[in-house]
Chain A
Amino acid sequence: MAETAEKAKKQERVAMPEQEPKVRARNFLEVPTGYTVKMAQDEASRCLQCKKPACVEGCPVGVDIPGFIEKITEGDFTGAIRNLWSKNALPAVCGRVCPQESQCEGRCIVGRKGQPVAIGNLERFCADYERENGTGELPPKAASTGKKVAVVGSGPSGLTVAGDLIIKGHDVTVFEAFHKPGGVLVYGIPEFRLPKAIVAQEVNFLERQGVNIQCNAVVGRTVSLDELFEEGYDAIYIGVGAGLPRFMNIPGENLVGILSANEYLTRANLMKAYEYPKVDTPIPLGKNVVVLGAGNVAMDSARTAMRLGAESVKIVYRRSRDEMPARQAEIHHAEEEGIELFLLTNPTKYLGNEQGRLTGMECLQMELGEPDDSGRRRPVPVKGSEFTIDCDLCIVAVGSGANPLLTSTTPDMTLNKWGNVVADPKTGKTTKKGVWAGGDIVTGAATVILAMGAGRDAANSMHDYLTLGW
């Protein structure tokens, strides 16, 4: 063991090949191009096969990480994907978008003295290998229980619930308001980070297992939760996400050229407006683009604007680099592609012309003061530091809240003061009988994998309810 540890430590992690920054900054193709079989096997051989693997504890859905990695070293890629599928219906997605550094890879023992095993890259490899070369053979399913489950929302948490419950023998229908399933995976995360064909493939995997997906169904408008119960559903899971954009509430916000990141990314990703005029949905093209906010959504928006041909793209954020909520890798990618960071900068007013179009914004320089409630140092304006940034397109990515469309039509379900659904943190049970909730509608905007973890817990609790009782 000591010898192996020594060997692993010396070995460098196998880097995944990427498109060159200058090239990729102007196309929508995926940035990392994936491992070859040899790369995957070399990387897999760095895993120490721990008896008590800490990495598994770091995974919100508890993937058997040493197990699937061992299959890769053995060259049994079908075995590897089947192992992954038993815990995770969306490995091609998770391998790409999970913040592994703070989850599985953050716990990897090899990472203590060197670089952790590239678990995300390996998970991605297995899913991609299966898609391109696999047998398509499905994992086994339990006998039918005769129980019907409705899942509202087809984002990461809803798809996880659907995947878990279909395997346990329940009859599952997913209701999606958009015309395509996937939630944030299709409308939010751009093609260059997560190709939509891959999301469609993972959704198709669920459909092949028997999950019924109904698009264009706006629960809260087309049908209410109580009507779903009347139609014979035994349990309902709510995974509708945090789809209510926040704006800055500063003067000039409704000028033409100011869009929520939700709108900008929905046009670009779901409607494929980056292919306009090959598709019919237009997207505003800015020469000088400003993105407000510094989370992953802000990075996605900025990198999309660059790819759509902007001359300059600026990220404007009121705190400093240390407080930026985006993943390090995303910030790094953005900067490599030529996106500038305007830190400690806060817009106070939008400026427009007579046609009502955005021409710039007034900003204040900030400095960090005492820590606030969140423990982060509060940005305070520097007196007399007003300055103007010229811009013709501004994308507001300062967060999103709970969309009240469904909850406002379900009066007998308790919400907190922000409009999020109150649910038991262990089981996802809401205050309405037979209804569970999880993901961003409960926690506020968070990550794909946390939403999936919430879906996993809820699915277990729903299974208990359906087989044993409330």
Chain B
Amino acid sequence: MFKIVHREEMAEGTVVLNEIEAPLIAKKAKPGQFVILKANEEGERIPLTMAETNPEKGTITIIYMVVGKSTALFKELKVGEGFQDVIGPLGKPTHLEKVGKVVCVGGGTGVAVLHPITRGLKDIGNDVTCIIGARNKGLLILEEQMKNASHDLRVCTDDGSYGHHGFVTDVLKDVLDSEDVKLVVAIGPVPMMKAVSQITKERNVETLVSLNPIMVDGTGMCGGCRVTVGNETKFACVDGPEFDGHQVDYDELMLRLRAYHEEERKCHNDYCTIRDAK
């Protein structure tokens, strides 16, 4: 068992942080890599990108939004309990390079994935502006951490309850128009990554995105996570999860993410009904 040593609820309880004992993974993991977790014997394998690793302590941190049965099940796990299986580190690490001015854009729980990459880019000497967004103030996560990981943090909320009133893309346009940006890193919901990529493509700014397709094994043996990048089929678990944002077929990715929509909805409803009855 992979024991949970620390747990926090964020974003009005919809987002949960778990710090998990996994010394071998903590020793090896680099920003951008992910793990696959399985809660129990009947559980499914779920990929989550690591938000933090602590090699000295031998722990990794994941942050997830409760969206279905498995994440609802994860949320029930208390400190001292744990996951039956944690596999990793998987995927290719982010290619960190000193390029000059960088903008990191995060939406929703994508901010958790963006955090170690942002810090990594700052640590090697880039000038990092960070733009993070949420639907409202209560759903915003990791504001303090992102502030520390960058030189300049801009916050947006869809409803204007905090920071800039509007989307991260509005702020991104302003930054791109006023500064000589060399690289944009965008991690969040697919529509957000798609919108960011469209904006940066028009301005010809290199853009990195981290994709989140459905995965089973995470080691390249099934192709469930295949995505089209530059008209070629890639397996996100081994070729990614990060790709050139200008080459990704986002519409296909969105359709593929909905493949099990009905099953997921029913499974979650059944689980909540049973849990609430107890």
List A residues at the B interface (Cβ < 8 Å): 177-179, 215-218, 221-223, 243-245, 247, 253-254, 256-257, 259-260, 262-263, 266-267, 271-272, 276-282, 284, 355-357, 403-405
Inter-chain CA distance A16–B87, complex, in Å, is 41
Whether a CB of chain A sits under 8 angstroms from the CB of B38 is yes
Q: Which 6 A-B pairs have the closest CB atoms?
A: A356-B255, A263-B222, A243-B221, A282-B263, A280-B44, A281-B44
Q: Which residues of B contact A263 (CB under 8 A)?
A: 216, 222-224
Give A421 Cβ to nearest chain B Cβ, in Å: 16
Smallest CB gap from A408: residue in B = B238
Inter-chain CA distance A218–B220, complex, in Å, is 11
A277 touches B266 (CB 8 A): yes
Would A267 and B267 be within 8 Å (CB), given that A256-B255, A356-B252 are in contact?
no
A276 touches B223 (CB 8 A): no
Would A262 and B25 be within 8 Å (CB), given that A221-B88, A280-B267, A281-B45 are in contact?
no
A221 touches B228 (CB 8 A): no
Inter-chain CA distance A254–B227, complex, in Å, is 8
Would A266 and B258 be within 8 Å (CB), given that A216-B87, A218-B87, A356-B252 are in contact?
no
Inter-chain CA distance A280–B274, complex, in Å, is 14
A262 touches B223 (CB 8 A): yes
B226 touches A254 (CB 8 A): yes
Q: Which residues of B contact A217 (CB under 8 A)?
A: 24
A277 touches B219 (CB 8 A): no
A216 touches B85 (CB 8 A): yes
Selected from A216, A218, A247, A271, the residue in CB contact (under 8 A) with B216 is A271
Identify 9 new A-B residue pairs, CB closer than 8 A, beyond the known A179-B84, A216-B87: A217-B24, A222-B88, A257-B259, A259-B222, A259-B224, A263-B222, A279-B44, A280-B44, A281-B44
Give B2 Cβ to nearest chain A Cβ, in Å: 9
Q: Which residues of B contact A216 (CB under 8 A)?
A: 85-87
Selected from B69, B88, B90, B233, the residue in CB contact (under 8 A) with A254 is B233
Inter-chain CA distance A220–B14, complex, in Å, is 35
Whether a CB of chain A sits under 8 angstroms from the CB of B70 is yes
What is the size, in residues, of chain B's interface with A at 8 Å between Cβ atoms?
Answer: 42
Give A244 Cβ to nearest chain B Cβ, in Å: 6
Report B113-139 CB contacts with A as 1/0, cut-off 8 Å. Answer: 000000000000000000000000000
Q: Which residues of A contact B69 (CB under 8 A)?
A: 280
Q: Which residues of B contact A404 (CB under 8 A)?
A: 220, 238
Give B66 Cβ to nearest chain A Cβ, in Å: 15
Of B42, B228, B252, B270, most A-chain CB atoms within 10 Å:
B42
A221 touches B86 (CB 8 A): no
Q: Which residues of A contact B43 (CB under 8 A)?
A: 279-280
Whether a CB of chain A sits under 8 angstroms from the CB of B89 is yes
Inter-chain CA distance A215–B84, complex, in Å, is 11
Contact residues, B247-269 vs A (CB, 8 A): 252, 255-256, 258-260, 263-264, 266-267
Whether a CB of chain A sits under 8 angstroms from the CB of B244 is no
Whether a CB of chain A sits under 8 angstroms from the CB of B95 is no
Give B25 Cβ to nearest chain A Cβ, in Å: 7
Give A182 Cβ to nearest chain B Cβ, in Å: 14
Give B86 Cβ to nearest chain A Cβ, in Å: 7
Whether a CB of chain A sits under 8 angstroms from the CB of B28 is yes
A223 touches B258 (CB 8 A): no
Inter-chain CA distance A243–B216, complex, in Å, is 13
Would A405 and B238 be within 8 Å (CB), given that A218-B219, A254-B226, A260-B223 are in contact?
yes
Report B178-204 CB contacts with A as 1/0, cut-off 8 Å. Answer: 000000000000000000000000000
The 27 sampled A-B contact pairs (Cβ below 8 Å) are A177-B219, A178-B217, A179-B87, A218-B90, A221-B28, A221-B90, A221-B219, A222-B25, A222-B88, A223-B24, A244-B220, A253-B233, A254-B228, A254-B256, A262-B223, A263-B223, A263-B224, A266-B217, A266-B222, A272-B42, A279-B43, A280-B70, A281-B45, A284-B260, A403-B219, A404-B220, A405-B219
Would A262 and B89 be within 8 Å (CB), given that A256-B259, A282-B263, A356-B256 are in contact?
no
Contact residues, B1-39 vs A (CB, 8 A): 24-25, 28, 38
Q: Which residues of B contact A266 (CB under 8 A)?
A: 216-217, 221-222
Selected from B89, B216, B223, the residue in CB contact (under 8 A) with A221 is B89
Give B70 Cβ to nearest chain A Cβ, in Å: 6
Report B57-87 CB contacts with A as 1/0, cut-off 8 Å. Answer: 0000000000001100100000000001111
Selected from A215, A253, A277, the residue in CB contact (under 8 A) with B85 is A215
A271 touches B87 (CB 8 A): no
Smallest CB gap from A259: residue in B = B224
Give A173 Cβ to nearest chain B Cβ, in Å: 13
Selected from B28, B222, B228, B267, the residue in CB contact (under 8 A) with A260 is B222
A278 touches B42 (CB 8 A): yes
Give B191 Cβ to nearest chain A Cβ, in Å: 16
A282 touches B264 (CB 8 A): yes
Smallest CB gap from B224: residue in A = A263
A243 touches B220 (CB 8 A): yes
Q: Which residues of B contact A259 (CB under 8 A)?
A: 222-224
Q: Which residues of B contact A281 (CB under 8 A)?
A: 44-45, 216
Give B39 Cβ to nearest chain A Cβ, in Å: 8
Q: Which residues of A contact B28 (CB under 8 A)?
A: 221-223
A282 touches B260 (CB 8 A): yes
Q: Which residues of A contact B221 (CB under 8 A)?
A: 243-245, 262, 266, 403
Give A320 Cβ to nearest chain B Cβ, in Å: 28
Q: Which residues of A contact B223 (CB under 8 A)?
A: 245, 247, 259-260, 262-263
Q: Which residues of A contact B73 (CB under 8 A)?
A: 280
